[in-house]
Structure 1
Amino acid sequence: MSHPAGHARERLGPVSPRGLHNLLPPVVAWLITNLVSWLVAKESVAGDGSEVAYWSTGGRRRWDSAHYLSIAKTGYEMFWCRDRYPNFRDVMCGNVAWFPGYPMSVRAASATGISYEVSAVVVTEVSLFGMFAMLWWLLGARLTWATGLTLAIGTVFPGGIYFHAIFPIATGTLALLVCIVGVKRNSWAVAAAGGFVAASCYPVGAVAVDMLLLSAFFAWQKDTWPIRFAKAGMSAALAGCGILWTKWLMWQATGHWNAYEILQKSSYTQGDLRQPFGEMRKAYAFPFSDWYRPEGHLPWLVEHSLTAHRTQLWLNTAFILLILATAAVLLVRNRRLEVEEWAALILTLAIFFLPFFAGAEMSWYRNHAQMFVGLILVGRMSRWVQVPLLAFCSIQYALLGAMFFSGVLV
């Protein structure tokens, strides 16, 4: 499933200055993923104006986007729903269930004078380009069949439609890749910075803390064991400060250190650990097509995509199995994994399972988009695996994208 060890080492060897400055492949990948997303949007919206739906800020907003924008504009708040909406059920309302890393980036971008909505799209797209640039570097920054096909899979990555939305998915994924780069370059400060941003952007980003703790066993190999544990511990602790910063901002606004947990439990009955395989079954059976079915005539692509979250789960599961198989083959052939391969393996597995432990019944597919980091291991796969994977990802990207742009996904 992987290429011979010698070829892998050649691709992952020192990158020449020319290679570092060769940004054409990630630029092309970024342009292609926008083109593909635009075509999906165009085929998913009926009536006049479908051509511009993707390029408008409204076309990239879905439910939680309003909360991220409200945090960027006015900060955090939490209140009893009935205090403002008399006919609402007696639960807590507010925006403290959403993390601040992305909204604070949007606020910073808006200081240039552009609107918050446009700033949100700019931050998202810049982050997406950064993802391709980081992935390109981690693949060795040399164009081969393996690296080219890996970038191609990245343009239609499962759940990747949220890399273009007003959501923190692209920013958080970029931060995870920066964290991996830090570990690979033996820079605990860079790793900690990436982990901090990842943990402050999205709950799933907290998996960076676990990876950094475990990094003592596969990274920092030029150091003695005490130094390795110190670097792993310091980087993990600083990354965890992203969560502390999140809680501090919420406490400043609401007076509750546990504001996030209060709102999650009150409004979404979340906060406790779930049985993951039971949550998978619930997520698979969720009736999106009944709850959020658009009215009127549906375009062909939308009509055939209303249950695409089910094929998404099958594809994501297959992706995890391929990652595990690739890592096993590399361990057998090379008797070791590279630092970035260990980091990608740990993060990908954690990202896959964490939403089901937390009970993310209606949002696991955008959590799983951050498995993009697993493409580091996809670059080690045989072409006979990469080409079918690209085909399946392309089909699924169109289906899930149609669900998104038609308003079926939340």
Structure 2
Amino acid sequence: MPDSVLADPAPDPDPDPAPRARRAGRHALLPPVAAWLIANLVTWLVAHGSAVAYWSTGSRRRWDAEHYLSIARTGYEMFRCRERYANFPDVVCGNVAWFPGYPMTVRAASATGLSYESSAVVVAEASLFGMFAVLWWLLGARLTWATGLTLAIGTVFPGGIYFHAVFPVATGTLALLVCTAGVKRGSWALAGAGGFVAAACHPVGAVAAVMLLSSAIFAWRRDSWPVRCAKAALSAALTVCGVLWSTWLMWQATGRWDAYETIQRVSYGQGDVRQPFDEMGKAYHFPFSDWYRPRGNLPWLVEHSLAAHRAELWLNVTFVLLVSATAAVRLIRRHRLPVEDWAALILTASVFLLPFFAGAEMSWYRNHAQMFVGLVLVRRVPRWMQVVLLALCTAQYARLGAMFFAGVLV
């Protein structure tokens, strides 16, 4: 009898591919889930070394966090400080120096019955997981040495301690990644929505408008030039609407369209364009440990981390140069960059420079955490460089984290 008759019949194709697709989707989420868990484990170890209870909302509330919580609870307010505090300088007080994107999200989350403090932590951690998930998609959602090491660097990214804090850093960074994903997918609406949220969370997020305006040059390539320019302009306009929405909320509460600009100028001496290299010097030499030093015997990690912001600046400069050099080498060798690489390059450089032009000598390190989007290009760095960068970031993450948990950082 012929072999063809004795052979088992060929298996029928899967009549329903949906289960297979669901399994693939679940497996695709494993690396982001693992990265999020590792990021929390590392941060818990840093908190333990700083003698702080990580699994409490109090450990994640430092300085400006109270302003974000006050906006979530009661909205904006602005008043002369002397009206409430007799011995205070006659400057402007209130919470209009902080943008509403994150606190309004916290307010929405509190509708579930959680306290505002718990809601703030949940929003931050959910945003961090979203960051890893979108980054993983931008990396191709395929586990290799390059993508695995890139995710590992993301778990200890410079300034990333603020991804776990009651601050808008994780939410704003997620929005920048969504903006980048929108450009890659060719969706101006998604890109603009990411830009809107980024700009509504923090002024640094407005750099998305710069990237989106320039996207007419490197994105939307299937369209004609008029359509490319229109998509770039529309997505950038949506980003600007994030700033306008923030201004409108402040005006509704205070009756002033210039509330943000006023408190920045009168109370914080900001609002003008600074010389960036001078501001870098001020940021490097700012005496955090003299300005505020915890009382009593300090844990070893805290005691050896009170000037960690100086190493942080060097590491951030190194990161920007590495991302820029990687893009330049790839552009020279292949004469082109993928859309997401262009977007990540522009955003990374802009996020790095903006705080120094604005004079944020006491907050640049948390603003720079939004350079996380530059990890899209780090996957193209040689493996040995990734390993070195991972080691440097791990050591610095522990030191800057100790400064944060000790309450030294603003």
The interval holding the TM-score normalised by the smaller chain is over 0.9
Maintained 8 Å contact 1:344/1:374: yes
Contact 1:211/1:347 (8 A) holds in 2: yes
Q: Where do residues 205-244 of structure 1 align in structure 2 (5 Å cutoff)?
A: 205-244=205-244
TM-aligned CA distance change 1:187 to 1:17, over 3 Å: farther
Could you tell me how far 1:43 is from its partner in structure 2?
Answer: 0.5
Alpha-carbon separation, structure 2, partners of 1:392 and 1:88: 43
2: CA distance, partners of 1:37 / 1:384: 25
Deviation (angstroms), 1:289: 1.2
Q: Measure how far apart 1:333 and its partner are.
A: 1.7
3-state SS of 2:376 partner: helix
1:54-85: CA deviation from partner (whole Å, max 9, x where unpaired): 11000000110000001001000000001011
Q: Does 1:284 align with 2:290?
A: no
AA at the equivalent of 1:35: L
TM-score, normalising length from structure 1? 0.94
Matched-pair identity in %: 76
Alignment of 1:92-171 (within 5 A): 92-171=92-171
Aligned length: 389
Among candidates 26, 32, 51, match of residue 38 of structure 2 = 32
Matched with 1:63 is 63
Structure 1 regions of 5+ residues with no counterpart? 1-15
Q: What are the superposed Cα offsets for residues 137-163 of structure 1, whole Å, 9 maximum, x if unpaired?
A: 000000000000000000000000000
How far residue 265 of structure 1 moved from its aligned partner, in angstroms, is 0.7
The Cα of 1:32 is off from its aligned counterpart by 0.3
Instruction: Determine if the alignment matches structure 1 residue 42 to structure 2 residue 48.
Output: yes
**Is this contact kept in 2: 1:198–1:205, CA < 8 A?**
yes
Inter-partner Cα distance in structure 2 for 1:238 and 1:24: 33
Distance in 1 of aligned mates of 2:121 and 2:294: 25
Q: Distance in 2 between the 1:333 and 1:136 partners?
A: 25
Q: State how far apart, in whole Å, the 2-side matches of 1:118 and 1:235 are.
A: 33
The reply on whether 1:321 has 2:321 as its aligned counterpart is: yes
Distance in 1 (alpha carbons) for counterparts of 2:100 and 2:201: 6
> How far, CA to CA, are the matches of 1:192 and 1:221 in structure 2?
18
Runs (4 or more) in structure 1 with deviation over 3 Å come to 16-21
CA contact (8 A) 1:311 1:396 kept: yes
Equivalence map 1:327-338=2 (5 Å): 327-338=327-338
> What is the rounded CA distance, in whole Å, between the counterparts of 1:170 and 1:73 in structure 2?
20
Paired amino acid for 1:217:
I
Output the amino acid matched with 2:140. G
Greater Rg by CA: 2
Distance 1:38-1:318 versus aligned 2 partners, 3 A rule? same
Contact 1:20 1:141 in 2 (8 A): no
Gaps of 5+ in 2: 1-20
Amino acid at match of 1:227: V
Name the amino acid aligned to 2:288: F
Q: Which amino acid aligns with 1:74?
A: T
* SS of residue in 1 equivalent to 2:79: strand
Aligned pairs for 1:309-388 within 5 A: 309-388=309-388
Give the C-alpha shift of residue 20 in structure 1.
Answer: 4.8
Q: CA deviation at 1:18?
A: 6.2
User: Do residues 303 (structure 1) and 324 (structure 2) align?
Assistant: no
Partner of 2:11: none
Secondary structure of the corresponding residue to residue 361 of structure 2:
coil
> Which residue of the partner structure matches residue 182 of structure 1?
182
Deviation at 1:293, TM superposition (A): 1.2
Post-superposition offset of 1:290: 1.0
- What secondary structure does 2:54 align onto? coil
In 1, the alpha carbon distance for the partners of 2:268 and 2:183 equals 36
Aligned-pair distance for 1:17?
7.7
TM (norm. structure 2) is: 0.94
Does the 8 Å CA contact 1:146/1:379 hold for their aligned counterparts?
yes
Look up the SS of the partner of 2:89 in the other structure. Answer: coil
